[in-house]
Amino acid sequence: MALTCLAVLGTPAHAQDAEPVRFERDGLKLELAALSHDQVRAFFLARGFSQKDTEHIAVTACLFRSAIGSAFAEAGAPAVKVALDEWQAMPADGKPSAPKVREYWENVWKTREVPADAATAFYWALFPTEQVFAPTDYNWGFLTFGLPPGTSFNLMVAWTTDDKAYHTTIEGLQCAK
């Protein structure tokens, strides 16, 4: 397995400055930025979530926007596979955990009895749990890490290109405060 550590230390991705982290390596192209609580509230209130459920997202989700896909632009280039359950959010003083994916949130919304339209929008607004990208394919979506507001963490990003496994670590991410 190829192991790398991403050199973004000089530009930590804090929600406050919302400067995206970008990298392109071994077939993967990625862009990632934390969203502020106000951005989260505005988006999900407009999708039909109640104030209470919107607050639940803002306080528990630690939400980042992302665009992730294939860095290849030539037809016939290898497929790139991303599976979020292979990623690890690693807070300095906490247990590593995988991102909270669509299936996790579907159960949350069933328990909280949120309107169907809101739950549907949430599902499609999240980055897919697992996807294979052909050349020039990519997806947009939110990532949720389930960490408390303000938590600083490193993120281990894993993917496969042409069935070969790669990973890298993005250091210095921070959930919105």
List residues binding another protein (CB under 8 A): 18, 20, 22, 29, 31, 33, 35, 39, 42-43, 46-48, 65, 67, 69, 73-75, 116-117, 120-121, 123-125, 127-128, 131, 133-141
**Least distance CB 156 / another protein (angstroms):** 22
Looking only at the bridges linking them, the beta strands covering 21-25 and 28-34 are antiparallel
Using CA atoms, how far apart are residues 177 and 170, in angstroms rounded to an integer?
19
Q: Which is nearer to another protein, 115 or 149 (CB)?
A: 115
Bridge partners, residue 66, by sequence: 32, 141
Q: Which is nearer to another protein, 67 or 90 (CB)?
A: 67
**Least distance CB 52 / another protein (angstroms):** 20
| No. of helices (H) and no. of strands (E), the chain | 4, 10
Cβ atoms of 34 and 175 within 8 Å: the answer is yes
- Residue 147's CB is within 10 A of a number of other CB atoms, namely 21
Q: Which is nearer to another protein, 134 or 165 (CB)?
A: 134
Q: Is 92 exposed, middle or buried (0-12, 13-18, 19+ CB in 10 A)?
A: exposed
**Least distance CB 77 / another protein (angstroms):** 9
**Least distance CB 177 / another protein (angstroms):** 19
Q: Which is nearer to another protein, 27 or 91 (CB)?
A: 27
**Least distance CB 106 / another protein (angstroms):** 12
Q: Which is nearer to another protein, 1 or 73 (CB)?
A: 73
Q: Which is nearer to another protein, 136 or 154 (CB)?
A: 136
Q: How far is CA 24 from CA 39, 67, 143, 160, 168, in A?
A: 27, 12, 18, 14, 11
DSSP assignment string, 121-132: HHHHHBPPSEEE
**Least distance CB 40 / another protein (angstroms):** 9
